[in-house]
Amino acid sequence: MVLGNYKQAVAARSTDPDILRKSQDGGIVTQLFAYALDAGIIDGAIVAGQSDEPFKPEPMVATTREELLAARGTRYSISPNMSLIKEVTRSYGLDKVGVVGTPCQMQALRKGQLYPVGLRDVADKIALAVGIFCMENFPYQGILQLVEDHGATALENVSKLDIGKGKFWIYTERGATVQLPLKVTHKYEQPGCHVCLDYVANLADISTGSVGTPDGWSTVFVRSAKGDDIWAKAIAAGAFETKPIDSVKPGLELVTKLATEKITKNQQFIEDRKTKFTVGKELRNPYI
C-alpha cells in the first residue's frame, strides 16, 4: 500500500519537443495541463512558477500554454500552491481548476474538499489534481546554502537542480556540474516533511515522478476515476509516448523501495515524537 491505490502505472514522456526541452524529466505535468487546457478540461492550473529570486518557486495561475511552459522544471523549495486554491476561483474566475502539488499538498487538497472549513465553493471546482513524488522539501535558505555554500556556485548561474542517483546535482549555465552527496542535504530538509507518510501522492488524480524510469521519462500512476478518464483522453490525443512500466529499469521496484524507506523512517519519527523528545509529554500527532 505504500504506492496507494492506482488503476495503472506506466512509463511516459511528453510527445512535445517544446515541453521536453526544459522539463525536469518526461514533462508529464506540463503536458497534462497543456492538453487539459486545450481540451477544455481545465480553465487554468495552479503551478509552481518562477519568482524574482532564482530557483525560488512561487505559486501562480497559468491560463495559457506559454505560462505553463514558463513554469516547467522542478524547483526544490516550498511553493504553497494551496494558498491560491480559493483565489483561483475568485479573482481568476476559474470554474475548472488544475493544481499540481506534492503529496502533502494533495492531502491538503482532499481534506479541503471533504472539510471545506474556509474554502467556500471550491471543492467541486477541482478538475485535475496532479501529484509529484516527493521525498522531502527544502526551505529556500536551505537551497541557497546547499548551492552557494556547499556547492560554491552562485544560484543565479544555475540552469538546473536535480536529485537523483543518490546525489544532489547542480548544473550551471556555463556547463559545469557540481554534485553533493545527499547526506549533506538532510540537515536542511523542512522539518514538517519528517512526519509525512506519502511518497507518491496517493491522493492525486494522477501522480508522477522521475523515480523508476530512465532519464527523460517519468513514472505515472493513474489513480482516480477522473484521472483515468483524463489520462485516456490525453493518450488518445497523442500527448504522451508510453511504455509498460514492467519494460523499463529500474521500474516499480525502486519506487516501492524508496516509498517504503520514507514511510518507515517517518513512522518511526512520529513514534519518537511521543517518547524521545519528551518526559511525560508528547509532541502533537496530526494523524487521527
CB of 107 to another protein, least distance (A): 5
- Judge whether 113 and 143 are in contact, CB under 8 Å: no
CB of 251 to another protein, least distance (A): 25
- Cβ nearer to another protein, comparing 177 with 264: 264
Rounded to whole angstroms, the Cα distance separating 209 from 135 reads: 11
- Cβ nearer to another protein, comparing 199 with 217: 199
CB of 122 to another protein, least distance (A): 8
Q: Which three cell numbers stand for residue 17?
A: 519537443
Task: Return the beta strands (E) in 194-285 as ranges.
Answer: 206-209, 218-222, 240-244
Q: Give ∠ CA 43-210-256 in degrees, rounded to 5.
A: 115
Site for another protein, rule CB under 8 A? 5, 59, 77-87, 101-102, 104-105, 107-108, 110-121, 123-124, 137, 139-141, 190-197, 202-203, 224-225, 273, 283-284, 286-288
CB of 84 to another protein, least distance (A): 7
CB of 278 to another protein, least distance (A): 12
Residue 161, SS3 per DSSP: strand
- Cβ nearer to another protein, comparing 19 with 41: 41
Name the nearest CA neighbour of 239 among 3, 1, 10, 14: 14
- Judge whether 228 and 26 are in contact, CB under 8 Å: no
Q: Which three cell numbers stand for residue 161?
A: 537542480
- Cβ nearer to another protein, comparing 3 with 193: 193
Rounded to whole angstroms, the Cα distance separating 43 from 126 reads: 10
- Cβ nearer to another protein, comparing 57 with 251: 57
Rounded to whole angstroms, the Cα distance separating 59 from 51 reads: 9
CB of 63 to another protein, least distance (A): 19
- Cβ nearer to another protein, comparing 31 with 107: 107
Rounded to whole angstroms, the Cα distance separating 243 from 185 reads: 33
Rounded to whole angstroms, the Cα distance separating 87 from 27 reads: 26
